Amino acid sequence: MVEAGLIEQGLRLRWLNDGSQRLTWADLVALIETARPGSLLAVARAGQQAAWDDSQHLQAETLDVVNVLAWLLALHISGGKYDQPAPQPVPRPGADTPPTATSDVPPQQLDAPVPTVEETLPGVDESGRIVGEATPLDELNEWLGWV
């Protein structure tokens, strides 16, 4: 893996200690220590979990959340009769076992009743319209500390 990472950089491991100074031990240490996330050198240093950079992990986490929200919305709209299991998280590199959803129980077997829109989103009526009283701007500005 280190050799493949060096090839990405235009270097060869065989150059180490060949008398040419094309690649020194200090160079090799510096390259491995400062390898960018997702590079082969980073994976060689930190394992498969380094195969993704932070952005890719955040994208996978976002996709997991969106999938769960879509599943919950379908469950809510169907009145608890949606028979699909909870979505599985996106597999991450370096995970020993594939991640599992928080519940493998089909929704129709859940003990808790499905909450109504009013219970789920206080201030929203059955049609999905936001209801309530408007807060005066001066009161809102004071609450936000903008006074």
Question: Percent of the chain beyond pLDDT 90?
Answer: 7
CA–CA distance, 69 with 64 (Å, rounded to integer)? 9
- Contact call for residues 52 and 92 (beta carbons, < 8 A): yes
Residue-level pLDDT at 66 = 93
Which among 75, 63, 55 has a CA at the least distance from the CA of 99? 63
- Is the pLDDT reported for residue 52 higher than 90? no
Whose tokens are 């980073």? That residue is 42
- Contact call for residues 114 and 120 (beta carbons, < 8 A): no
- Contact call for residues 42 and 8 (beta carbons, < 8 A): no
Task: Please report which confidence band the pLDDT of residue 109 belongs to, taking 50, 70 and 90 as the band edges.
Answer: low
Residue-level pLDDT at 55 = 85
- Is the pLDDT reported for residue 92 higher than 90? no
- Is the pLDDT reported for residue 13 higher than 60? yes
Q: Name residue 16's beta-bridge partners.
A: 23
Q: Each residue of 43-67: b (16+ CB within 10 Å) or e?
A: bbbeeeebbbeeeeeeebeeebeeb
What's 7's DSSP letter? H
What's 130's DSSP letter? B
Structural tokens at position 115: 């909450």
Residues in the chain: 147
- Is the pLDDT reported for residue 122 higher than 60? yes
Q: Name residue 23's beta-bridge partners.
A: 16
CA–CA distance, 37 with 65 (Å, rounded to integer)? 24
